[in-house]
Amino acid sequence: MTHRLPTLAEREDATRACSYCPKLCRPACPVATVRGNDAVSAWGIMTSLAPIASGTEPPTSERLARAYACTGCGACQSHCELDVPVAETLRDARAEALAGGMAPAEVTAFVAEIPRREERVRDHARQLGASTERPTGVALVAGCTMVATDVPRVAALHRAFVRWFGEASLVADVCCGAPLLDAGDLEGFRVRAAAMSDRVSAASTILALDAGCAHALTTLAPRRGVETRPIETLESYVARMVRRLPRGALAALGPVAVHDACKLGRGAAVYDAPRVIVEHLTGHPPLELLHNRERSRCSGGGGLLPITARATADAMTDELVESVRRTGAESVVTGCPTSRARLARAGITAFTIGDLLCDLSRGTPE
Ligand code: SF4
Ligand code: SF4
């Protein structure tokens, strides 16, 4: 036992459980499926990490770097009879990789770029007129990915929310830290999650436009010692308030499919809300993908996979596109802004629930 790594050592039981398992979750892993390679399945990666977690073999960059062949979609855990926390274990392996200088070069470059990205986010938040004070009413957490890349969309979402549900303060200049956790920067994640938690501490209601932020702050941060108040997803809030929206106002959309995004569905256990909203607004229940609810497929955009294995991530998007096309739907609603962007780039008309609120505002007089 001479090689124990402090964070990964706590995952000895989890990695051992997988190494004794006959790959029961193998069909669920989208990365292994598109690569046709069991070595990058939950079973394959966990088994290769087991001797490192137990300290019987020293860590190598090849083995630790395999932890980055994962989007953190959680599909393996929802298929696992033992409820093994694969994605969380791989996040800890990433932390060991980054701390030990064994992370892929793309990841260390991503982490080095974070300060510039955060400066861009703060600049965009100023353009959005977002306050830097602690809100006391409804706090609308925008999510740094959207703020960094699409200021007009964030502005439109904020306007649409206020139009239908009343005043809300946009929180746009701080990040929940999820991208750092994906990279393996545990301390960076804790610092950001604590700052976000403090920022929204006085709010009467905290809502996240991106379910990834809600999952990071509500579920992942407390596991790493950062206490936060629960954050509700926009989808569940809008579903509760759906009677405020004009029934049938988006009937012209035609058949709509629902994609159960990883962090909204498996992450926050929100499955019915997007279906309730789509049915209310279009007048018809949405179409279902072959793999839906707990068995839904990731678009490939999570866990930094687009920067560590771009071709794999794109192949996952292609599979999801094919799945949407097979339903005959003219558009798809997803709970993941990154999936929306990836599907749109692949030629699919894709919306988030926030986008539907914006469409509603455009088509309905004040
Ligand atoms: S996550 Fe569960 S089902 Fe998958 S390999 Fe590990 S023990 Fe088996
Ligand atoms: S979390 Fe998703 S991508 Fe990662 S190992 Fe499990 S099924 Fe595969």
Q: Is 82 close to ligand 1, i.e. is its CB under 6 Å away?
A: yes
Ligand 1 atom nearest 77 alpha carbon = 1
Q: Is 29 close to ligand 2, i.e. is its CB under 6 Å away?
A: yes
Q: Is 76 close to ligand 1, i.e. is its CB under 6 Å away?
A: yes
Q: In this structure, are residues 66 and 40 in contact, taking their beta carbons and an 8 Å threshold?
A: yes
Instruction: Confirm or reject CATH 3.40.50 for domain 243-363, answering yes or no.
Output: yes
Residue type (1 letter), 68? Y
CATH 3.40.50 in the chain, residue ranges: 243-363
Instruction: Give the whole-angstrom CA distance, residue 186 versus residue 97.
Output: 11
In CATH, what number does 6-99 get?
A: 1.10.1060.10
Q: Which value, to the nearest 10 degrees, does the dihedral of the CA atoms of residues 270, 286, 25, 210 take?
A: -40
Q: Is 23 close to ligand 1, i.e. is its CB under 6 Å away?
A: yes
Measuring from atom 7 of ligand 2, which residue has the nearest CA? 29
Ligand 1 atom nearest 28 alpha carbon = 4
Measuring from atom 4 of ligand 1, which residue has the nearest CA? 25
Ligand 2 atom nearest 298 alpha carbon = 2
Full pLDDT tens readout for the chain, 366 residues:
557 788 899 999 999 999 999 999 999 999 999 999 999 999 999 999 999 999 999 999 999 999 999 999 999 999 999 999 999 999 999 999 999 999 999 999 999 999 999 999 999 999 999 999 999 999 999 999 999 999 999 999 999 999 999 999 999 999 999 999 999 999 999 999 999 999 999 999 999 999 999 999 999 999 999 999 889 999 999 999 999 999 999 999 999 999 999 999 999 999 999 999 999 999 999 999 999 999 999 999 999 999 999 999 999 999 999 999 999 999 999 999 999 999 999 999 999 999 999 988 876 544
CATH 1.10.1060.10 in the chain, residue ranges: 6-99
Q: Is 316 close to ligand 2, i.e. is its CB under 6 Å away?
A: no
